[in-house]
């Protein structure tokens, strides 16, 4: 699992049926990094720090065994001391 910060919502109206209507969010690792798309089954908002899992665990975390995801948010961090060198702005 890794820690990411939610940047924004990603709108994708055309999807394969297996993806259902689960929200998609753009997330980045705490050091900035490359933006990635994560499935959000827990209800996050931009600015939240979240815990994500990847690979086959990401598919299982959506609640649908064959779900096409390689990054899924599994929790919202309620309290975490953000390192001083991390960018905390949205």
Phi, psi of 60 (to 5 degrees): -65, -35
Stretch 28-49: mean pLDDT: 91
Confidence of residue 18 (pLDDT cuts 50, 70, 90): confident
Superfamily of domain covering 2-76: EutN/Ccml (2.40.50.220)
> Is the per-residue pLDDT at 65 higher than 80?
no
Going from N- to C-terminal start, the domains of the chain cover 2-76
What is the C-alpha separation between 82 and 67, in angstroms, rounded?
A: 32
Which long-range CB contacts under 8 A does 60-69 form with residues at least 24 apart? 62/22, 64/18, 64/20, 66/18, 67/18, 67/19, 67/39, 68/16, 68/18, 68/19, 69/38, 69/39
The token pair at 34 is 């490359």
Q: What is the pLDDT of residue 16?
A: 78
Confidence of residue 85 (pLDDT cuts 50, 70, 90): low
Confidence of residue 90 (pLDDT cuts 50, 70, 90): very low
């Amino acid at each position: 699992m890794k820690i990411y910060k939610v940047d924004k919502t990603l709108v994708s109206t055309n999807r394969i049926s297996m993806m259902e209507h689960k929200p998609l969010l753009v997330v980045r690792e705490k050091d900035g990094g490359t933006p990635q798309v994560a499935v959000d089954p827990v209800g996050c908002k931009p600015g939240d720090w979240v815990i994500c899992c990847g690979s086959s665990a990401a598919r299982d975390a959506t609640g649908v065994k064959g779900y096409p995801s390689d990054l899924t948010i599994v929790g919202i961090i309620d309290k975490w001391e953000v390192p001083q060198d991390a960018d905390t702005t949205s």
